[in-house]
């Protein structure tokens, strides 16, 4: 599946694969932050992107990336960045993303998906027991 | 990336947990262990100081929520010290500002403990 159209003109694509292991999540978020800094994002926006990527990787780890690999593709474009995170696990329950706000009763996995949706401009989740999970998220340059 | 966790006794039966670094899926078990140990030792009034925390994700939030649930079962409370705008924003958008007491300094957090 191709990344969602966020950026009208691609300025470059960066591909990264990390082991689906907790200690590698920091590497993923820092690498994506470096890629995002090529675009005119504010510091706050880059922090949002870092957290969204980390939550995506955490979901992949917690929901079984069966081949032990998480793939992250960043496409930097004129208007922003499209980030596709995919693995071959089942992904989090999609019902988790419907809550407007997550309070004390919220589970961590719900918090993670909720944060991704709150911090990014567009999020598309597809999960298939046989084909794995793919998350395509877009952050647009504001202003 | 790592997290430094240190625990110190404060006024009364209150304890302060000082955290320095980044709280994510890799480091949050260390934070959980420190909070769990305090609660297991029947310390139910906690201030968790996030002033030197640069980053927190949902697993970190989950640890804080879990700690709060446990101390509340014993009539206790957890207050947070947080001045980082990005981290405050995470508490705000998740609605957790309504659940935790969040303060700009340790003295205020300590005073507000139930």
CA distance A42 to chain B (A): 12
DSSP assigned state of A141: P
pLDDT in tens, A42-79: 999 999 999 999 999 999 998 876 678 999 999 999 89
| Cβ within 8 Å of A, B 20-59 | 22, 24-26, 55, 57-59
Q: Which two tokens stand for residue B68?
A: 């709060």
Residue-wise pLDDT for A89-123, tens only, equals 766 665 554 444 444 455 556 889 999 999 999 99
From CA A123, how far away is CA A136, in angstroms rounded?
6
Confidence of residue B82 (pLDDT cuts 50, 70, 90): very high
CB contact under 8 A, B94 and A54: no
Predicted ipTM of the assembly: 0.89
**Are the Cβ atoms of B96 and A54 closer than 8 angstroms?**
no
Residue showing tokens 């000082």 = B18
Among candidate residues B8, B10, B7, B6, the one with its CA nearest the CA of residue B113: B10
- By the CB < 8 Å criterion, does B61 face chain A? yes
Judged by DSSP in three states, A110 sits in helix
CA B114 to chain centroid = 15
A133: pLDDT strictly greater than 90: no
- Establish if A31 touches chain B: CB-CB under 8 angstroms: no
How many whole angstroms separate alpha carbon B43 and alpha carbon B4? Answer: 21
Q: How much is the pLDDT for A125?
A: 86
| Radius of gyration of chain A from its Cα atoms, rounded to whole angstroms | 14
Confidence at A88, pLDDT banded by 50, 70, 90: confident
Residue A117 touches partner B, C-beta closer than 8 Å = no
The larger pLDDT score, comparing residue B70 to residue B2, is at B70
pTM above 0.80, yes or no: yes
Mean pLDDT along residues A113-141: 89
Residue B48 β-bridge partners:
B17, B80
Whole-angstrom Cα distance, residue A67 to residue A70? 9
CA A127 to chain B, closest CA, distance in angstroms equals 21
Nearest chain B CA: its distance from A106 CA (Å): 8
Q: pLDDT value at position A32?
A: 98
């Amino acid at each position: 599946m191709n990344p969602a159209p966020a950026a009208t003109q691609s300025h470059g694509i960066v591909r990264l694969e990390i082991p689906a292991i907790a200690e590698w999540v920091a590497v993923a978020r820092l690498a994506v932050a470096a890629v995002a800094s090529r675009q005119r994002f504010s510091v706050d926006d880059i922090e949002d992107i870092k957290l969204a990527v980390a939550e995506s990787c955490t979901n992949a780890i917690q929901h079984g990336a069966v081949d032990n690999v998480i793939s992250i593709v960043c496409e930097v474009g004129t208007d922003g960045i499209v980030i596709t995170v995919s693995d071959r696990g089942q992904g989090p329950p999609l019902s988790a993303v419907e809550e407007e706000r997550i309070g004390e009763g919220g589970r961590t996995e719900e918090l993670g998906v909720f944060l991704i949706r709150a911090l990014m401009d567009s999020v598309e989740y597809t999960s298939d027991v046989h084909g794995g999970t793919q998350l395509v998220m877009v952050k647009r340059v504001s202003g | 990336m790592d997290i430094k966790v240190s625990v110190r006794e404060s006024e009364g039966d209150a304890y302060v947990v000082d955290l320095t670094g980044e709280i994510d899926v890799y480091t949050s078990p260390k934070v959980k262990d420190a909070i769990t140990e305090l609660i297991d030792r029947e310390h139910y009034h906690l201030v968790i100081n996030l002033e030197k925390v640069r980053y927190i994700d949902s697993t970190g939030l989950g640890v804080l929520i879990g700690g709060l649930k446990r101390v509340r079962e014993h009539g206790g409370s957890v207050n947070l010290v947080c001045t980082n705008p990005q981290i405050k924003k995470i508490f705000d958008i998740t609605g957790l500002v309504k659940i935790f007491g969040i303060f700009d300094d340790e003295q205020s957090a300590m005073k507000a403990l139930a």
